[in-house]
Structures are given as structure tokens and as C-alpha cells.
Chain A
Amino acid sequence: MKNCVLANTSAKQRGMTTQTTDLETLERTLMARVEAANDEAALEAVRVDALGKQGAISALMKNLGSMSPDERKTFGAALNSVKDKISEAIVVKKATLAEAALDRQLQSEAVDVTLPPVKPRLGTIHPVSQVMEELAQIFGEMGFTVEEGPDIETDFNNFTALNFPKNHPARETQDTFFMNAKGADGERMVLRTHTSPVQVRTMLKQKPPIRMICMGRTFRKDSDATHTPMFHQIEGLVIDETSTMADLRSVLMAAIKAFFEVDDVRLRFRPHHFPFTEPSAEVDVGCDRSGGTIKIGAGDDWLEILGSGMVHPNVLKNCGIDPEKYQGYAFGMGIDRLAMLKYGMPDLRDFFAADTRWLKHYGFSPYLLPGLAQGVG
């Protein structure tokens, strides 16, 4: 290659035409060398031979001074053009080579992308927790606060304040767990049989209007396919001067629609008896049982889902609220049962078995925050 360039250089003394012809040859030769360069070193050699201080084009540039103005003008322009072309070609080739080199490097560093990563596991949220948050959202939207109370309660808060007469058979319907310890009222403490003691606590500390729900663990001495000694309840309480049973129905209707995410729901209020409400009603929700599963909001069947009523005047009195002035309603339902109805778990006992198969299957992603904007579920 060097020889070739030298040969060209030695041709500079020839005439104009010859010079031009030589320039074309030079260009072709250099372009061919650029094209042929297959690595950066080869390309750099071409650049030095052509454009370096001792390079062929540089040498011709130096000769320009010895030419006549006309000659210089014509040949100079041609020479510059060749110089630009070669420079340009080198830049382009350089980029191409770099690209190819990168490709080769990346190729050599390729891994088997099908290999498994060390993946942190995602755990789950228990359906009871999820449903509680859904309910807090739904009732929060209707202006209910969430109140709390302890699981170990006094006899007064669990029974007496709620108008359960002492030594009355009504107490036995509750299958109460008693503690060894006695409470401030001198009676054995109990594991709360319902979350109603939280209603009592709220009424004792807060003046009406009251608009609250409470959720939590409840206990009854009962254990079979559909009963567990511990379960969860949600109760609601509204005390003001005007709320009626019709208001109760409107709240329950809205809550059940929102919870089950259905447009239409039928509710049936069946007269019942609870010591703490008067009038009292059990509430059935319209459902469809055809096909082996229960679908809320469809069909012509009924399913009992909650107990409710207007707060008994004695309860208000026991909690320091004037029953002549205030009235209101209360309701209660099983949270576990609501979860089963909405999400289709067949057996209540599984809720408390801590079986990872069940928790994984029926649990919820921790990132799934219940909110009304996207539907509570």
C-alpha cells in the first residue's frame, strides 16, 4: 500500500490532466482501503497515509503552493473534495466498526435469559383484613367513623348495658366464653360475643350525633362446619334525633351494593328479637343459588346476612343518652361470612388454619388497596 502511495506522489511532476487523473486514482485507492479496513487500527493506518502529516493528500496540499494560480484553483478544489470525501468515509467507517465491535462484545456477553432470577416472594393479605378495609371505605364514604374496643370485656358492656337481663335465657343464645378474671362490675369478664360493647363505649364517651362502625374479633363457644369459636363482626350505630328504620335500610342497601359491586339489590327485613333493639329485624338479601353458588343481587332466593333494629331505649339510657330526645339504629354482620359470599371461600374454618395454600389462593396482593374509585374489591 505504501508503495502505491509513493508511486502516486512521484507522479506530481506530471501535467495537469495527468495530475487530475492521478487524483482520481488516489481517491479510488484510498476509498478502497477505507472500505477494506476491518478494524480500527487498519482504518487509522489509512487515515495516517492519507491525511497524516506525511500523508498523500497532505503532500499534495503542500505542492499547491508551487502551482500557477489557475492550476492551483482547479487542482486545489479537486484535492479538497477528495480530502473531504476521504475524511467523511473514515468517520462513517469508524462508526460502523465501533457498532460492529459493540455488537460482537454484546454477543459474547449474552446470558440465558430463561434462567430464573432470585425473586423476592410477594406475600398476601388475609381476606378478613381486605374485607375490613373495604367496609371501612364504604361506610367512611357515608360518614361513619371507625371505633375500637378490647376483646376481653366486662359483663356490663357485653350484656347488661345492651339490655340483656341478668339470668335471662337471651344470654344463653350467645354461647359466651367467660374469663377467670372479674371486671369492675364484679362479674366475670367475657370474651365479647359481639362487637356491640364498642357501641356502648362510644355512646358512653361521645354525645350524639353518633355515626360509627366497629369491626373486630368476636367469640362464641361454638365449633362446627359453619361456626368457629372466634370470628369477625362489623357493627354500625347511628344515634341522632330523627333516624328511622327506613334510614337503616337505605344505608344497608348502599353498603351492600358497594360491597358486592352490584347495581341492584333486594333486601327483606324480617321481624326478629334482639334485646338491644326494638323494633328488631333480621335482614335477608336477594340472591340466586342456582348453579351451586350464591350470587348476590340476582335471582329470587333469599339469604340471611345481618341483624339490625332501632336501638332499644334501655340501651340509650344505660349509656347516658336520653331516649326521649335521641333515637337511632344499629346493625351487625359477620365479616368472614361477607368475605365468603363475595370471594367464594367454601369453608369458614380455613380462615383460621394458616395454611399457606389457602392464604396464597384466597389472599390479596398487598398492593391492592381497597378504594371506592376502582371498586372496593
Chain B
Amino acid sequence: MLCSGAELELDTDADGIFELDDCLKVGTPLAEALGLNDPVIDIEVTPNRPDWLGVVGIARDLAAAGLGKHTTKQVLPVPGRYPSPQQVGTEAPQACAAFAGRLIRGVKNGPSPEWLQRRLRSIGQKPISALVDITNFITHDRGRPLHVYDVAKLSGTVRARMGREGESFLALNGKVYDVTPTMCVIADDARVLGLGGVIGGEYSGCTETTVDVLIESAYFDPTITHQTGRALALTTDAQYRFARGVDSGFIVPGVELATRMILDLCGGEPSEIMLAGEIPAAPPPVTFDPDRVRTLSGIDVKPTRVRAVLKDLGFETSAEGQGSKRIVVQPPTWRRDVVGPADLVEEVARIEGFDKMPTLEPPRAQGFRAPPASVGESRSRLGKRATAALGYFEAVTWSFCSREQALQFGGGGDEMLVANPISSELDCMRPSILPALLVAAQQNANRGFDDARLFEAGPIYRSTSDGGQERTITAVWRARPPRHWRAAPQPDIFDVKRDVLMVLEAIGAPVASLQTSSDVPAWWRPGRAGALRLGNKAVAIFGEIHPRTLKALDVEAPVLAFEILLDALPQPRAKNGRTKAPLEKLDLMPLTRDFAFIVDDGTAAADVARAALGADKQLISDVSLFDVYRGERMAAGKKSLAIEVTLQPRDKTLTDADIEAASAKVVSAVMKATGGTLRN
């Protein structure tokens, strides 16, 4: 590849390829050969330290930490020769508290000298012209953004004011920006010249032909500058600094420093300095007990050392008064983040070093500890382990899904939309974990791993209010016909029903009180899904997913699933200690009797079982259904249900008459409840 010096950003020469001296040894890294291999130090500047956005601020901190000596000299004022005919002003003190300016007449602009260009290039800045380069240099050297205007283009006072609806301007980056009344603009009598503290305008910018230049050094409000940058999605070196807060003590010195450099590099004749508005007051002093360093950070630092560290960082300290251990600390103008004792502790602790903290023994829990989890969390933990023990793999999937999916699973309301989603596939809080797991199961199948069993114990979101987030355990089973030398049946709804009941039992849910109903939400397959209810409240749903839903998700049918709504389970009763109720150990042998009933085909087996169980609550301890028969020996629309009833005698052995009486109660209860008849 052939490149010019300009393309490599090593030079401004774009006429031909970049030529190297013949004496250079082949194989030498270019940076080394050209003497450009400066050390690169990456510094993470946190939002509270805009003073580190200039080299001088970093140097000050390094020196305070004992690394080198801080030698930055004070900026000496340059006397003005005449009052400036070009005025500056601020009409929006809330956005631009102070606006300092100076006119320099008769400058000669052109490329800046090599040393300046090299410095700018080494930090990734493109040299433009001496006047512009000087402002960029001071921005990075002192954290002081400046702007220069070509006075020939100005008409009337240059002032900061709020923007007006309908105004726009062409910025130095070549883009046109529409201005709003929440933005601070710099304007003259004729037009908007730029956005204050954000970006200058093309029209009034300095060029090679500029003869008279106006320097702007202002104080723009951090919040307004920040908002303007966000509104326009525009971050510039100036905007970044003003949004974090520049040194209010360097507004006028900034002009002086720029004047000196312009006079040095471009010549010219400076006016007197103009200052519109008011320079923001210094940050308020903080009364501080030096012992606070020890009581907050744990590091024992002598009061004299505390004062020395603060002094090195630019703070002024003085005794509060006679008899007081406390000192009064005046933060420098570039440290508006320091407002209280904790901030001063941090200053001292970080310079002293956190490694000076004493080593202490870790604490131990005192006395009795409540279980380190809520009821819901404990249930979730138990449920996870029970579900995994049944062969399901625990997955963790996104809390968001697509709105389309959400709508299919009973969610997708406006309230649940993410305003700035990472993609349209993830733009809505999920009303169910099912879609994510169904899709994942299919993806696993596509990879050749059929028979995927996945579950997730996680939140679903029904509303944005507290309590709108619910804890669930949701599982899917993409059951495929088992191939085994001992023929095993195809897993179906009753396999997931077993699984959901086992998990509920493991959690400690009142499984015996659950009732199964067939009314389920629309994304479950009608007739092949059921809800487990406590009273009217569904605590779990199990069965097959509706084929229509699966098709919409591009998932092959059938898929079995269950969903446990952990928060719907009743809270455990307030305990009287850990003592369990006494065991009722009955010595009399239980006995069983079988019954078969002919009922309508639509009759729920649970109704027969429940009626039998309720027939004699004292005596009947269990009912289990062991046969369902439909077929030729049965009339059309009828089926036979066979149950085994367990009788548990309590205080005496049952006589034949007792058993007869109980049997009669079972028969009549079932007949009454279901309209069925006893099969002979």
C-alpha cells in the first residue's frame, strides 16, 4: 500500500508517497525511525475530575502523589494596548455566567510551527492553522476550551444568549444544526455564530486570511452544555469539558495565555481584556476534622500530613480557631466536586495510598441468623434443584423479548416496552419465560440435540409497579418418541404433570389441596393442558403448547411445558418454633376396596376421586384411580373409571357391616357428584 504523509497523518504533504531517509534500517518500527515512539499513557478520567482533562491537572496530581515536581508557571497578563471596539456580552447568565474576550489586530495566520503540530498530532489532533491550533493546545494543556472568531465576519456585539426557534447554523464539522431555546448560542447582531461551549460556526471561523481575531474564553453551564450535546448527539473536546465543569479560575488567564501564544506565533496587537457577566464564585470552604481520615478510611494520618497533602493538591487550609482541632479547607476553583469532609478524606487517602489501611479480622455473624433468603427466593432455589433433578437443564435468558412474542403470551402492553431497546427483538419486558425457552429448545434441536429439556427460574414482568414482577419456574420439554429396547411410551401431558407436581412438592407447596382444571391461557393447547389451582388461584400450568403459538415462533410441535407461579403459593404460616406436630401412627391395618363407575366420557376423573375421598372423611384415607376403560363393552359416550379406596380404621377393627356402610357411602357420593353408576 502506498500512502502520502497526509494520509498517514504524519505530514500535510499529500502530493506523493511518504519518503523515508535512505539511511534508515529496514525492519525498524516506523514510530521508532521517525522519533514518534512517545510513551502513551492511557488515563481514565472519571466524570468528577474535569481538571484531569488538561495535562496540567494530571501533573499536579502526580506531583502530589510524589511523582515529580509540579512546575507549571503562572500565566502573566499581557497588557492591552487599546479598548476593544469589538464587544462581547452574555444575555443568558444561567447558561453562560462569564464571557471574557480580547481582540488581537493584525495577526498573520498560517500553519503552526512544527513543535505545536507534532504535539497536537501525537494526541490525535489534526493541525489546522496557528490560531486554531493554539486554542486546541490550550484545551488539552490546561483543560481550557477557547474559541477564535474572524472579526471581519462579525457584526455587532458577540454575545451568549439562548437559542430561538427556527435558528440554525453551519458548524465547523460541516453539519447544519437547528437551535432550540434550551441551547446556549453565541450570536452577533446578524446571525448565530455557534453553540456556546459545544461547537463553533463555519461562517465566523478563522482562516489563513484572518487579520483581526477575537478570542472567546467563557464559562458555560455544565448541565445545559451536557443536554445540548445529548440532544444533538454531539461530543466535542469543548463540550466534554464544559459539561463536566471547567476551572472558573482560569477564564481570564486562558485569554492571557492564548494572547501570549498568538503574539508569539502570529504577531498582532492585543486589546484590553473584556469581561461580561460574573466569574462564578469559588467553591465554599469545608470545615474538616483531620481525624476524619482515620475514622472513615481507617488510615491513620497525622494532621500535619493531612494539610500537606491538601496543599499539594491546591487546597488552602487554615486552622478553624484556637482550641479547635478542625481546619477550614478552601477547595481550588478546579475542584467543584469537593463539597464535604468525605471528599477531603478521599483526597488524603488516595494520595497516602489505600495500602496503608490496617489489616483487620473479618466479621463473624453474631448469634442467630435468619435464613439468608426470602421465602420466594428459598422456594426458587429448592424448585431449581428439584427441576434439574428431573432432567431439565437450567438456562438463564434475557428479561426482554420481542413485543410480538410478548403479545402472544399475554403481555406486550405499552407500559412494558423498552424505550431504547438494544434491538427490536428485545424491545419488551417478557410476560413469560416460555418464548425464550421454546426458541432455545428448537435451536438446540437444530444443532442436533433433540429431546431438549430446559428450564429457567426467573422473573416475568406484568407491570412496572412494585409487585408487577413475578417469580416463576418455567420448563419446556421438546419430547420426542423414546427409542429404547424396553418400549417406553411417548412422553405426554401426564409426564409434565408428574414433573410439575414433583417440583411443587419439593418446594413445599400444599400439593394435596391442588385442583386441576382445564381452563388455560390461549398459548396452551386446549384439551391437552391444565392449571393447578389453590382455590381460584392458578399456581401452575402444564401441558402442551398450542400448535399455533409454536408455529408463530417457528418451533416444531409438540412441546411440553410447565410454568410455576411461585408468588401465587401461600406464605408459610407463622411458625411456633421448629417443632413438628406429633405423629399420628395408627396401628390398625388399612384395607382397600375397588370400585368401577360408568360415567359420561366428559366427566373428570378428579371429580370421581374427590367424591369418593369425601364420602367418609373419618375412614377414607386415600383414593387412587387405576383404570380408565372406553371400548366395545361400554355404551357410546361412556367410560369406566376404576378406583381403589383405602379405608383406615382408627380406633377399632372394621366389621363387615362397617365396610359395607363405607362402600355404600362411596357409591352414593360418586353417583351424586358425577351421575355415574356402579359398574357390575
A interface residues (Cβ-Cβ under 8 A, vs B): 115-116, 118, 120-126, 128-129, 133, 136-137, 139-146, 148, 150-152, 166-170, 172-173, 177-181, 183, 188-189, 191, 217, 219, 221, 223, 229-230, 242, 244-247, 249-251, 253-254, 268-273, 275, 278-281, 310, 312-313, 327, 351-357, 359-360, 363, 365-367, 369
Contacts and interface: CB of A to CB of B under 8 A. Distances in A.
A355 B444 contact: yes
B226 interface: yes
Nearest to A173: B47
Q: What are the 5 closest A-B residue pairs judged by CB atoms, nearest first?
A: A246-B298, A269-B354, A279-B346, A254-B362, A273-B46
B567 to A, nearest CB: 12
Contacts of B373: 136, 146
Nearest to A149: B466
A310 B296 contact: yes
Interface stretch (B209-217, B484-492, B516-524, B592-600): B484-492
Given A152-B464, A169-B244, A143 B359 contact: no
Nearest to B348: A279
Contacts of A369: 385
B485 A179 contact: no
B399 interface: yes
Tell me which of A116, A137, A183, A246 has the highest count of chain B C-beta atoms within 10 A of its own C-beta: A246
B7 interface: no
Given A152-B461, A246-B360, A249-B357, A126 B395 contact: yes
Given A123-B455, A363-B394, A141 B364 contact: yes
Contacts of A279: 296-297, 342, 345-346, 349-350
Contact of A245 (B298, B416, B440): B298
Contacts of B390: 120, 123
A315 B443 CA distance: 46
Given A140-B365, A168-B226, A245-B296, A354 B354 contact: no
Contacts of B372: 136-137, 139-140, 144-146
A366 B385 contact: yes
Contact of B384 (A230, A246, A253, A366): A366
Given A143-B363, A143-B366, A230 B398 contact: yes
Contacts of A280: 346
Contact of B297 (A139, A150, A230, A244): A244
Contacts of A122: 388-389, 391
B488 A118 contact: yes
Contacts of A254: 362
A268 B345 contact: no
A332 to B, nearest CB: 16
A366 B453 CA distance: 15
B602 interface: no
B388 A366 contact: yes
A331 to B, nearest CB: 13
B433 to A, nearest CB: 10
Interface in B370-421: 370, 372-374, 376-377, 381, 384-400, 414-421
Contacts of B392: 123
A120 B391 contact: yes
A123 B370 contact: no
Given A146-B372, A179-B464, A354 B298 contact: no
Contact of B395 (A181, A242, A268, A354): A354
B394 A217 contact: no
A359 B396 CA distance: 10
B362 A142 contact: yes
A126 B355 CA distance: 37
A219 B388 contact: no
A245 B356 CA distance: 11
B2 interface: no
A310 to B, nearest CB: 6
Contact of B346 (A150, A270, A278): A278
A352 B418 contact: no
B95 to A, nearest CB: 13
Interface in B273-309: 294-299
A181 B413 CA distance: 10
B251 interface: no
Contact of A278 (B343, B449, B452): B343
Interface in B220-256: 222-223, 226-227, 230, 243-244
Contacts of B449: 356-357
A253 B363 CA distance: 11
11 contacts: A118-B484, A118-B486, A124-B394, A129-B394, A136-B372, A143-B369, A146-B377, A168-B223, A179-B416, A180-B415, A269-B354
Given A173-B47, A280-B346, A351 B396 contact: yes
B500 to A, nearest CB: 15
A177 B359 contact: no
A253 B359 CA distance: 10
A152 B468 CA distance: 9
Contacts of A146: 372-374, 377
A244 B298 contact: yes
Contacts of A247: 298, 360, 363
Interface of B: 46-49, 222-223, 226-227, 230, 243-244, 294-299, 340, 342-343, 345-346, 349-350, 354-355, 357-366, 369-370, 372-374, 376-377, 381, 384-400, 414-422, 426, 429, 436-437, 440, 443-444, 447, 449, 452-455, 457-459, 461, 464, 466, 468-469, 482, 484-486, 488
A354 B466 contact: no
A125 B390 CA distance: 12
B354 A151 contact: no
A349 B455 CA distance: 18
Given A279-B345, A354-B440, A354-B443, 6 more contacts: A123-B394, A181-B415, A278-B345, A327-B296, A366-B384, A366-B387
Contact of A178 (B346, B389, B419): B419
A235 B443 CA distance: 34
Contacts of B299: 245-246
Nearest to B359: A250
Contacts of A126: 394-396
Contact of B419 (A120, A188, A269): A188
A121 B453 contact: yes
A217 B459 contact: yes
A193 to B, nearest CB: 13
Contacts of B345: 278-279, 310
Contacts of B486: 118
Contact of A221 (B361, B394, B420, B447): B420
Contacts of A351: 396
Nearest to A143: B365
B346 A123 contact: no
Contacts of A181: 414-416, 464
Contacts of B459: 151, 217
A123 B296 contact: no
Nearest to A139: B372
A179 B366 contact: no
A167 B354 CA distance: 31
Among B48, B374, B400, B449: residue with most chain A CB under 10 A: B48
A189 B363 contact: no
B397 A366 contact: no
Given A118-B488, A150-B468, A352-B396, A125 B48 contact: no
B388 A123 contact: yes
Nearest to B467: A150
A115 B485 contact: yes
